[in-house]
Amino acid sequence: MPWSRNTSWRQGSILSQKDFLEAGLPDSCPYNLAIAISHDCDIANDNMDAEPFVEFVYAQRMEKKDGNCTNGKNPRILHLNYKWQQDSIFLELRALNKFTVPKNNLENIQPDGIYELTGSRQVLQSWLSARYRRHALPNSLVDRLREVFSHIEKEGKKKSDGVLSFQLSYQPMEELPPEEAYELWLSIVYVIDQAEYESMAEKMAEGLKAEFSALLEKTKAFGSVDLRKCEAVSEMEFTVRDIRDTVEYHLEHLSYRSEPPGPII
């Protein structure tokens, strides 16, 4: 039957391997699942000239989640929570594994209802957009904060489940010569699912403040950074305005430098 706005496909719906051939996908594909990532409005649009495809990303079931890949922390890999039968599972999505399927190929295929997206679709949407909107830091700031970022990454990976994001703000926004200092504000945003996450984030913030000068000493040839604030903030306290005024630091953050390739922090 022709594609209609009443389609059962939605963002987050699962296409199972048993339907890959009918959908026009190769039977030699190493993945056994794919997740629809087009917006609901685009999927439902029955104007085939305007929206002829549904975009998907291949996925695979994980034996164990990696907290560094949850909540969109990593712009390249996402571990997304689903309900499978009665079990809570995580599926791994990789940003490079996107592809499109003509809607005509999906007309007679139903999403695999055994999978149910239990995590917020906003996590999926945020992760999809992060690859295109993440902020590239000035080279001179990256050089000065190289050891600081290594410290954040090391500590963040140890406590990945409780940390939602690292948000930073800096001034000025442009490249600076070594004799001029940047000012830096850093917030460690923690989730409130468990009571211990607050004290964990506070200890992380205090530890970074205590180590900041010593870490900066290792890169002093590139210039200095004045740490104006470093604090733990709950996800309930971190406002939309705060999001607008800060940059989310990802575990794979790039500077502006492209040739040679910018450093992965």
pLDDT tens string 211-259: 999 999 999 999 999 999 999 999 999 998 888 888 888 755 444 443 3
Confidence band, pLDDT 50/70/90 cuts, at residue 204: very high
Kindly report, residue by residue over 40-59, the tens digit of the pLDDT. Answer: 999 999 999 999 999 999 99
Domain range annotation of the chain: 14-133, 139-249
Write down the CATH number for the domain with range 139-249: 3.30.300
What is the rounded average pLDDT of the residues 20-27? Answer: 91
Res 203 pLDDT > 80: yes
Q: pTM (2 decimals)?
A: 0.65
**Same fold? 14-133, 139-249:** no
Which of 15-19, 85-89, 129-133 has the highest average model confidence (pLDDT)?
15-19
Domain range 14-133, CATH class: mainly beta
pLDDT in the model for residue 107: 92
How far apart are the C-alpha atoms of 11 and 205, rounded to whole Å?
A: 37
What's the pLDDT score for residue 263? 38
* pLDDT tens, residue by residue, 129-166: 877 766 678 999 999 999 999 998 888 777 777 888 89
